[in-house]
Structure 1
Amino acid sequence: MLRVEIEMFSGRPNPVWMLTDADAVQKLLRLAAASPKGVSKPGAGFDGLGLREVRIERFADDEAALRGVPKAFAVGSPFAGDPKAARELAKAFIETMPKRSDVKLLQHELTPLSSKLHDLALERLDRLFRDPPRPPQPPPKPPSNPLRTTIPDEKCGQCQYEVSQYNPGFWNNPATQPYNNCYNYARNWRTNTFAQPGRAHGAQTSTMACGTVTTAAMADGLKKRCDCLSEKEWPRRLMALVIDPGWDYHWYRHQRGGFWGHKPGSTAARNTDNSGVLIVNPETCNRGGYTDFCGYFYAGKSVVIN
């Protein structure tokens, strides 16, 4: 049995399914064994917005091991030893996506499997290899002052909000990273629930558009920028929302030092865009397929997410 996950979304859960056909499993594992340079360690590839890799994990302990195929591995990384093989292996695994899964997973409630999702994954895989990103670079050193700072909002007259030190280490540990997403990071609240806009207040949406996600987030208590929050709401955050139309959302948070931080899905928090450039403007940075910029929001201490 194999668990297949396409690491591609930021806000909503990734497409995931269980492959239970023994013959199909062995065929795919043999393909991977025949192309060891196309196999990567999970999380070692592209880490920006968009399709990042396809992750595979074996669950049965009585299956014969194949040389070069670990229990958990990834394919589809443009940084693999053999990028062409990595791409072809990723296509082979994506092709196994069922329109309906016999094994129901919690992720299917928010990310149902479909032919449209299958086609989108293949299109995003082609995009990743058509315009390969630069290899990951060491992140710049964060500011030395760890304290929050209250600053005036240059766009909104008398409004103020707080910026805090960029602290990716808080998010990028095994007990936190896989269970918190961009919404957690932007709100600066680790819930370990892969928080969804509106879910804490019965207002969650499955329609990925600026209007619907904005409405869901405002049900959690977010305010549109320039709707000033009082000092009673300290610490207040400035967040930005973008949309991959019809498929996903993504959030950023303004950090101390004038740049923006974010956390694509279950991957590591960072302050760089898809080109590896420090984000100083979420409206103009490289966001991959997240083409719709929806606006800025304040989040005070009364904002509850889940």
Structure 2
Amino acid sequence: MAFRVTIEIYSGRPNPSWMVTDPDQVQRLMRLFLRHRAGLAETPGSFMGVDFRGMRIDFASDTVRSLGLPPTVEIAGGGAADPFAGAELAEALLDTMPEPADQAERGNYRVLRDAIRQAIRRSVEEGLGGVETIEPQEPPDPELAAEAEEQLRRIDQRLNACPFDAGPYEPDFWNDFYVVQRNNCYNYAVNQRTDSFAQPGFAHGYTIPHSTTCTEVRTGALRDGLRVWGDCQPAGYERHLVALVTGTMLDGTRDFHWFRRHREGFWGHKPGSGPARNVDYSNNVVTNPFSCNRGRYTEWCGYFQSHNSVIVSGPL
């Protein structure tokens, strides 16, 4: 028996993931899982922390069913009956995270592991309602804020020459068991299920650099066929209005995140392999992606438009 562990932390980039195959480790951890079942959850939890959303275990064998366990469980994400047991299990799993062979990557590995360990403990000590949050900050550039607000006003009043479609908010599709784990914020934004954790530009031979600036993510999106808002898409359908932001995660890694406007007037988004939602990090409905609480995604990259001709894919 073996299983895969995934740390739910990023929204755009693929999450850290590894296989646990050593028989002794597997046996020891399986005993822990069975002893502390109250620390396991079968569905994604309600964790609304800044970036860490728990850990997921995907069992490679159906034999776990005979033990009374589902094929996939979540730990330390807010869905378990006993969060203290979940935190204990999450720390045990974190100890199995393999150290990279590349000496240059070991520093980042240690930073990530330590940051996740602190997030696990903080989620228990402070409770799900009191985990680390980042309050909305005053925009550093008043001109940028004014421009973004004016763009949104014109969009809401249909004063821009670019026509766009606003589909209904349908989280049930994206939160289905077979969809939620393999599709990210970019899939949600362009409304395409690829089951590959789509990356801007990946379908067209482009890889976003680790610096992950607005310009670099935008380059990939434009290669996929998106257009900057104002450069209207041609006639067609699925001309969704989307917004892009970037930021620095708790381990120092750079990441990106997308929002999509819905018919109801609010914006939906899907943080990584977590469930789709229409609320921000303060649990308020997103009516303005620029001014809402975006957590660590503090850098505004602008509005874009998707289209049915857009082609996206990812590495999974």
TM-score w.r.t. length of structure 1: 0.77
2:149 counterpart residue number: none
Retained in 1: the 8 A contact 2:38–2:86? yes
1:75 aligns to 2:79 (yes or no)? no
Q: Check the 8 A contact 1:181/1:194 in 2, yes or no.
A: yes
SS at match of 1:160: coil
**Contact 1:260 1:281 (C-alpha < 8 Å) held by counterparts:** yes
Q: Is the 8 A contact 2:44 2:79 kept in 1?
A: no
**Alpha-carbon distance change, 277 to 186 in structure 1, aligned in 2, over 3 angstroms:** same
Correspondent of 1:199 among 186, 198, 202: 202
CA distance in 2, matches of 1:70, 1:181: 23
Counterpart Cα distance in 1 of 2:64 and 2:167: 49
**Alignment match, 1:266:** 273
Contact map agreement 1:241 1:293 (CA 8 A) in 2: yes
Q: Secondary structure at the residue paired with 1:241? A: strand
Residue identity opposite 2:164 in structure 1: Y
Q: 2:233·2:306 contact (CA, 8 Å) conserved in 1?
A: no
User: Which residue does the alignment assign to 1:223?
Assistant: 227
TM-score of the aligned structures, taking structure 2 as reference length: 0.75
* TM-aligned CA distance change 1:288 to 1:92, over 3 Å: farther
Classify the secondary structure of the residue corresponding to 1:176. Answer: helix
d(CA) in 2 for partners of 1:75, 1:182: 22
Structure 1 residue 127, shift from structure 2 partner: 5.1
Is it true that 1:163 corresponds to 2:170 in the alignment? no
AA aligned opposite 2:261:
H
**Alpha carbons of structure 1 residues 60 and 303: separation in structure 2 relative to 1, 3 Å:** closer
Is 1:114 aligned to residue 109 of structure 2?
yes
> 1:153 is matched with which residue?
155
1:161-218 CA-partner distances (Å, limit 9, x unpaired) = 2212212233333443333221111111223332110011111214233222122112
- Residue 85, structure 1, aligned to residue 85, structure 2: yes
- Corresponding residue number in structure 1 for 2:20: 19
Contact 1:241–1:294 (CA under 8 A) maintained in structure 2: yes
Question: Residue type matched to 1:176 in 2?
Answer: V
CA contact (8 A) 1:78 1:132 kept: no
For each residue in 1:75-130, what CA deviation from the matched residue of structure 2 results, as whole angstroms up to 9, or x when unmatched? 213443322222222122112111238xxxxxxxxxxx933332343344345446
1:1-306 equivalent positions in 2, closer than 5 A = 1-46=2-47, 50-60=51-61, 72-100=72-100, 114-126=109-121, 128-129=123-124, 132-133=127-128, 153=155, 157-207=160-210, 208-225=212-229, 227-245=230-248, 246-306=253-313
Deviation at 1:278, TM superposition (A): 1.3
Mapped contact 2:200–2:217 kept (Cα < 8 A): yes
In structure 1, how many angstroms separate the alpha carbons of the residues matched to 2:175 and 2:224?
25
Give the 3 Å change call, closer, same or farther, for CA 118–30 of structure 1 in structure 2.
same
Q: Is the 8 A contact 1:152 1:160 kept in 2?
A: no
For 1:147, the equivalent position in structure 2 comes to: none
Could you tell me how far 1:254 is from its partner in structure 2? 0.8
RMSD of the alignment, in Å? Answer: 3.2
Unaligned runs of 5+ in 1: 102-112, 136-150
1: distance between equivalents of 2:78 and 2:275?
18
**Secondary structure, counterpart of 2:235 in structure 1:** helix
Match of 1:107 in 2: none
Retained in 2: the 8 A contact 1:42–1:55?
no
Q: How many residue pairs were aligned?
A: 278
Change (3 A) 1:23 1:190: closer
Instruction: Name the CA shift for 1:131/1:252 in 2 (closer, same or farther; >3 Å).
Output: farther
CA deviation map 1:230-285 (0-9, x unaligned): 55254422111122323422111011121001122233322122333211122233
5+ residue gaps in structure 2? 102-107, 131-152
CA distance in 1, matches of 2:254, 2:180: 22
- Aligned residues: percent identity? 41
Whole-Å Cα distance in 2 between the matches of residues 70 and 187 of structure 1?
Answer: 31
Answer yes or no: is the 8 Å Cα contact 2:3–2:20 preserved in 1: yes
2:175 maps to amino acid: N
40-49 or 4-13: bigger deviation: 40-49
Letter in 2 for 1:163: A
